[in-house]
Amino acid sequence: MTMTRMDYGRLLGDFADDEVYLHPFELTVDGSIVGPYMASFIDATPTWTSTPYAAALGMSARPVPPHLLLNLGLSFSVHDTSQQAIAHLAYVRVDFPKPLPIGGTVRAASKVISTRPSSSGDKGVVHVHTVLVDEFGDRVLDFERKALIRAGQMSDRPSVTGGIATGAQGESWMGTLPTTTFTDSLADWAPPTGMFQPPLWGHFEDFEADAVLVHANGRTVGDTEHMRLSAVCRNSHPLHWDKLYSDANSFAKERVVYGGLVLAWTMTQSSLDVGGQVVWEQRWGDGAHPAPILAGDTIFAASKVLATREISAHLGEVELRVVGIKNARPEALIAEGHDLFTAERAKPRDARLKNKVVEITRTMLVRRR
């Protein structure tokens, strides 16, 4: 009897610059996915919670929330890029050029930008560019990230004809940016008569540069909950699923909560304060997960206003630095003199905050009064 162990992902030596990995899933993102996912997030942003509101913005249907799109893009890419990863290091940039209506279909591909071995030789950093493309060939998500990958080459990865592409075939799988982004379409937008006005704080005029907003609600992560949501997002990394694997391979010696969910919880915990007047997420970037979350940990969120910019008579752009903190209230850490909003990698080692589980810059389009 011949037995073959089928492993996925790649080790550092399996990556080659400019290769495009054609991820195996094609998924129709219908209500059976969006509903169970959103049930774990108290998201106050009406664009993704209200069909009439989305229609008033000119959308054909209520869109898939951007944080779910990102979780799908990250998860699809695990199969080919990061199932052997030690850790997800950074969100270099995340763009949302076009809404995906609920019921739309996506596929994904990732292109290797660079690989950089560490000085120790036992691991390295891989920089990849991933896209989610809809059934019309338009990109609905376009992002770059970096992952820490063990050195070596896979001996038991199945050889999939067509799973790697270069040149024209690779570019075809990467799709195209829509001719007009959704943000462009809002340049002359005005609220229709009678359009719902959420009775929440967070109009463009409410945001002042350098203001710090501490979001009161905490969120304790349940063990079965984070595993269920990883399944909804199609994340196959055993670090989030497999106790035996995690006992042997996890830096925490137990299962670790998938970072994309930590980011989504942090964003949605802030939404009651900053999301009620948001009409679209422009871009995210300069993000990282400085520390992991385990089941039983509690996440708190805080935001700092970096800049504001008038866009039109009815819309403005707000840039925030958003952080997630585990097992400590942000206001208590601020009172102790901790700097929550500077990137941890930019700090001296002895000044780094061990409680910070996510940090990212968020640029959003917000209604004016």
Tell me the per-residue pLDDT of 128-142, one tens digit each, with 9 for 90 and over: 999 999 999 999 999
Measured between alpha carbons, how far is residue 299 from residues 212, 218, 229, 328, 355 in Å? 18, 6, 16, 8, 9
Q: What amino acid is encoded at 272 in this protein?
A: L
The single-letter DSSP state of residue 34 is: H
Torsions phi, psi for 341 (to 5 deg): -105, -5
pLDDT in tens, 255-301: 999 999 999 999 999 999 999 999 999 999 999 999 999 999 999 99
What's the token pair of residue 159?
């050889």
The single-letter DSSP state of residue 361 is: E
Nearest to 319 by CA among 281, 290, 357, 277: 281
Nearest to 91 by CA among 132, 12, 147, 141: 147
pLDDT in tens, 207-241: 999 999 999 999 999 999 999 999 999 998 888 88
Structure-token match 């069909």, residue found? 51
pLDDT in tens, 345-367: 999 999 999 999 999 999 999 99
Cα-trace Rg, the chain: 20
What's the token pair of residue 188?
């002359």
Q: Going by C-beta distance under 8 Å and a sequence separation of 6 or more, which residues neighbour residue 291?
A: 326, 354, 355, 356, 357
Rounded mean pLDDT of 77-91? 90
Domain with CATH 3.10.129.10 in the chain: 1-182, 198-221+257-369
Distance CA 61, CA 100 (A): 9
Identify the band that residue 161 occupies on the pLDDT scale cut at 50, 70 and 90.
low
**pLDDT attached to residue 238:** 87
Average pLDDT, the chain: 93
**pLDDT attached to residue 48:** 96
Residue 26 CA neighbour count, 13 Å, CB half: 6
**pLDDT attached to residue 6:** 76
**pLDDT attached to residue 294:** 96
* CATH number given to 1-182: 3.10.129.10
- What kind of fold does domain 198-221+257-369 have according to CATH? Thiol Ester Dehydrase; Chain A (3.10.129)
8 Å CB contact between 20 and 133: no
pLDDT in tens, 183-207: 899 989 999 999 999 999 999 999 9
Distance CA 276, CA 316 (A): 14
For every residue of 102-134, DSSP letters joined together read: TT-EEEEEEEEEEEEE-TTSSEEEEEEEEEEEE
44-48, 165-169, 282-286: range with lowest mean pLDDT: 165-169
**pLDDT attached to residue 3:** 79
**pLDDT attached to residue 126:** 97
8 Å CB contact between 108 and 76: yes
Distance CA 368, CA 202 (A): 9
**pLDDT attached to residue 86:** 86
8 Å CB contact between 30 and 103: yes
The answer on pLDDT for 245 being more than 80 is: yes
Q: Where are the beta strands (DSSP E) in 270-336?
A: 278-288, 298-310, 315-326
**pLDDT attached to residue 179:** 84
The answer on pLDDT for 159 being more than 70 is: no
Distance CA 80, CA 239 (A): 15
8 Å CB contact between 267 and 65: no
Q: Which comes out higher in pLDDT, residue 2 or 288?
A: 288
Measured between alpha carbons, how far is residue 177 from residues 28, 138, 258 in Å? 20, 6, 28
Can you give the pTM of this predicted structure? Answer: 0.94
The answer on pLDDT for 2 being more than 90 is: no
Structure-token match 């994904």, residue found? 108
Residue 34: alpha-carbon gap to chain centroid: 15
